[in-house]
């Protein structure tokens, strides 16, 4: 008879194969999203590996079993291996389909992201263009104001220059007037001195006449 471990492995592998069958035949078709499909495929892949590991252990147990039981045990293992191989091929097809769909979705997502970035870039360019236009308008207005201010400053400079020239002329006139006044003051002083001298001379002459007339006789 076969070993107890072989029988346990037989039950385990058969249960795993049943689970794989249900998931491949029914589970995948009921997935509502690619994420659910991905999770289910991962579960099937683990079950396939567990079943394969179980068959390896069953093959080891066959070598330990008596000769009269080995043919039956080997037939069962071969049947499981054939089923496992069939499920493995089905799994690979489903996995390839999932990869293709995921790649297409990723491509669509990538294209959508590119379109989004292009749209955002266009919006940024529009805002930048509007900002540049406003800056240009402000620069033109500032230039016009600056030109007007420079014109006013030029006019004020001419006015100040004329005022300075008038002040210089006025200062020159004042200097000439001062010289004239000083000259007139000197003449007045000379005239006063001359007048005093004349008066003194006249008083001297008058005194001499009086002295001669009254005291010399």
pLDDT tens-place values along the chain, 217 residues long:
457 899 999 999 999 999 999 888 888 777 778 888 888 898 999 999 999 999 999 999 998 888 888 899 999 999 999 999 999 998 998 888 877 775 545 555 545 665 676 577 667 667 766 766 676 677 677 677 767 767 777 788 888 888 787 878 777 777 777 788 887 878 778 788 888 898 888 888 888 888 787 777 5
Question: Whole domain around residue 99: which residue ranges?
Answer: 4-122
Pairwise CA distance, residues 44 & 20, whole Å: 6
**46 part of a folded domain:** yes
Number of domains in the chain: 1
**40 part of a folded domain:** yes
Q: Encode 103-145 in three state secondary structure.
A: HHHHHHHHHHHHHHHHHHHHHHHHHHHHHHHHHHHHHHHHHHH
**86 part of a folded domain:** yes
**188 part of a folded domain:** no
> 56, 80 in Cβ contact below 8 A?
no
The answer to whether the pTM exceeds 0.85 is no
Q: What is the CATH number of the domain that holds 46?
A: 1.20.58.400
How many alpha carbons fall within 13 Å on the CB side of residue 82? 5
């Amino acid at each position: 008879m076969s070993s107890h471990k072989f029988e346990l492995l037989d039950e385990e592998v058969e249960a795993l194969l049943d689970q794989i069958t249900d998931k491949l035949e029914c589970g995948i078709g009921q997935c509502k999203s690619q994420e659910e499909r991905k999770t289910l495929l991962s579960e099937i892949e683990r079950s396939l590996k567990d079943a394969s590991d179980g068959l390896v252990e069953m093959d080891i147990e066959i070598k330990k079993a008596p000769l009269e039981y080995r043919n039956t045990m080997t037939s069962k293992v071969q049947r499981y291996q054939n089923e496992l191989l069939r499920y493995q091929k089905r799994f690979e097809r489903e996995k390839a389909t999932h990869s293709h769909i995921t790649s297409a979705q990723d491509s669509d997502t990538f294209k959508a992201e590119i379109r989004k970035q292009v749209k955002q870039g266009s919006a940024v360019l529009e805002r930048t263009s509007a900002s540049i236009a406003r800056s240009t308008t402000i620069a033109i207005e500032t230039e016009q104001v600056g030109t007007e201010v420079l014109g006013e400053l030029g006019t004020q400079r001419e006015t100040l220059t004329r005022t300075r020239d008038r002040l210089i002329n006025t200062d020159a006139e004042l200097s000439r007037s001062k010289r004239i006044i000083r000259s007139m003051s000197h003449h007045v002083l000379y005239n006063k001195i001359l007048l005093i001298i004349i008066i003194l001379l006249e008083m001297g002459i008058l005194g001499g006449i009086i002295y001669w007339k009254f005291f010399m006789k």
